[in-house]
Chains A and B, each alone.
Chain A
């Protein structure tokens, strides 16, 4: 089978630099490890990516900003949070509070994930300060320190699923299924995030963080971490004053533990099981059709190929962009169930065979996967699921 060079290299874990051929080894997802050097040396870092041809006038119209849709959706979101939160508080400690907590948690920790994302791109609202306010609020709700994750996500868009460059790769191979399942209720991840916040508040960054955050931004990381710790202290103080667990259960890190599952369920779909180290988002990202309720919670991030190829198109224009470019992309999965039916067997196999990944067929109308974007064609044996 003819495959792009980098993809082939990834599949075989063989990478040729000059005349030196490196021996196959395990992937190193660290940003300061072996694969980080290889990605730069092989031209995979900050590279040119495939982009579907769309006339300038069309993409310009799609990129145009407006406040209306995001203001409407944010007000609805706040109303849902207030309503479910009030219900949980009212019925506490009876069992009737449980459904309210579950709904509140989903809108707190899962819907905030997509708000964090869209406002981080600065595309949700036309008005800059609105993006910033919602970004900081959502960052707090999902424990993503705003400066660190702004830069991390910038890197994710520069080097999407490039091993050693992208910090946001889900499902690192070989897949650790126990870890994946434990992350549905992310007690450990939340503890780790709080530890990191405390560490940043003392004025420390890890060596890895320093690779993608410019030095001039470090002081913002420390400042934000200290502010968050103060807010946590305020939440605990309020709980003590009120002699109630409710402030702790409704604000700060705890709702992420019981409300993150939907963001996780939807987030897995973005890239899981697909290729690493390729320069075509059609090979490493996935578009999945979802119902309007999920699309509201997820702010249309189900159109993920479209988002990665044209990240400045606001979430409310992604369905329109999808219609324009769908002849050039793999057919979307019809539902989340349909997508998981494909993904789970691939992840299972990747737990044993880290070189295995899914290549999805393009429609006849699409431009083929371009081997020249990945450094020239080579022939290798690569597992293909379909």
Chain B
């Protein structure tokens, strides 16, 4: 896998409320875009590592995303799993915002 990133347009910054999450599909992958209470954008893989439930239907509380099905909790800034039934960390992706558009960086296949 190459370390180089390709930046993909994910959504408009207004599409995501403060302290909320939006699901998008980028290059065939489900990605969750988070807007933190301090108005920063983050991205993780879009499915819970426990049972592949869409995190975009979950609840964002501060820096935690909670899976809508089983209460699996992750820190969406770091991807860290924060307790059962979530045991495996989420993969995170870099984001940037330009002219009101949120971009997600995906590593190029090497």
Q: Decide if B84 touches A150 in the complex (CB within 8 Å).
A: yes
In the complex formed, the residue of A with least CB distance to B67 is A312
A85–B48 alpha-carbon span in the complex (Å): 44
Contact of B20 among A46, A60, A154 (CB under 8 A): A60
Judge if A65 is at the interface, Cβ distance under 8 Å.
Answer: yes
Partner of B85, one of A46, A60, A123, A151: A151
Which residue of B has the minimal Cβ distance to A312?
B68
Interface string of A204-237 (1 = CB under 8 A from B): 0000000000101100000000000000000000
Please tell me if the beta carbons of B70 and A311 are within 8 angstroms of each other in the complex: yes
Any chain B CB within 8 A of the CB of A64?
yes
Interface hits, A112-129 → B, CB 8 Å: 121-123, 126
Chain A nearest CB, measured from B60 CB (Å): 9
Q: Check B69 against A158 for contact (C-beta < 8 Å).
A: yes
Contact of A359 with B by CB under 8 A = no
**A312 adjacent to B84 (CB under 8 Å):** no
**For residues 249 through 293 of chain A, which have their beta carbon under 8 Å from a beta carbon of chain B?**
none
Q: Mark B52-81, 1 if CB is under 8 A from A, else 0.
A: 100001110100001011110100000000
Cross-chain contact A123 with B71 (CB below 8 angstroms) = yes
- Residue A34 at the chain B interface, CB threshold 8 Å: no
- Binary per-residue interface labels of chain B (8-50) against chain A in the complex, 1 for a CB within 8 Å, 0 otherwise: 0000000000001000000000000000000000000000000
**Partner pick for B71 among A56, A60, A122, A158, CB 8 A cutoff:** A122
A104-141 interface bits toward B, Cβ cutoff 8 Å, 1 = contact, 0 = none: 00000000000000000111001000000000000000
- CB of B87 within 8 A of chain A? yes
Closest chain B residue to A45 by CB distance? Answer: B51
Collect the chain A residues with CB atoms within 8 Å of residue B70's CB: 154, 157-158, 311
| A311 and B59 contact, CB distance less than 8 A | no
Interface residues on B, range: 10 to 19
- Write out, one digit per residue, whether chain A residues 58-89 have a CB within 8 A of any chain B CB (1) or not (0): 01100111000000000000000000000000
Nearest chain B residue, comparing its CB with the CB of A63: B59
Task: For B51, list chain A residues within 8 Å (CB).
Answer: 46, 158
A312 CB contact (under 8 Å) in B52, B58, B85, B87? B58
A311 to B71, alpha carbons, bound, how many Å? 8
Structural contact, A121 and B71, CB atoms closer than 8 A: yes
Measured between C-beta atoms, what is the minimum distance from A211 to chain B in Å?
14
Q: How far is the CB of B73 from chain A (nearest CB, A)?
A: 8
A152 → B minimal CB distance (Å): 11
Q: Tell me which of A126, A157, A214, A217 contacts B69 (CB under 8 A).
A: A157
> Which chain A positions have C-beta within 8 A of B58?
312
Pick from A56, A121, A123 the residue with the most CB of B within 10 Å. A56
User: Separation in Å of the B81 CB from the closest CB of chain A?
Assistant: 11
Q: Of residues 138 to 169 in A, which have CB atoms within 8 Å of B's CB atoms? A: 147, 150-151, 154, 157-158
Of the candidates A60, A123, A216, A311, the one having the most CB atoms from chain B within 10 angstroms of its own CB is: A60
Q: List A contacts of B73 (CB < 8 A).
A: 122
Quick check: A312 and B61 within 8 Å, CB to CB? Answer: no
CA distance A126 to B68 in the complex (A): 15
- Give complex CA distance A33, B87 in Å: 27
Give every chain B residue within 8 A of A64 (Cβ-Cβ): 59
Chain A residues with CB below 8 A from B85, complex form: 150-151, 154
What residues on B are CB-neighbors of A46 within 8 Å? 51-52
A-B contact pairs, 12 of them (CB 8 A): A59-B57, A60-B20, A63-B59, A65-B59, A157-B69, A158-B69, A216-B87, A310-B68, A311-B69, A311-B71, A312-B59, A312-B66
Q: Which 8 A-B pairs have the closest CB atoms?
A: A122-B71, A63-B59, A154-B85, A154-B70, A312-B68, A121-B71, A46-B51, A158-B51
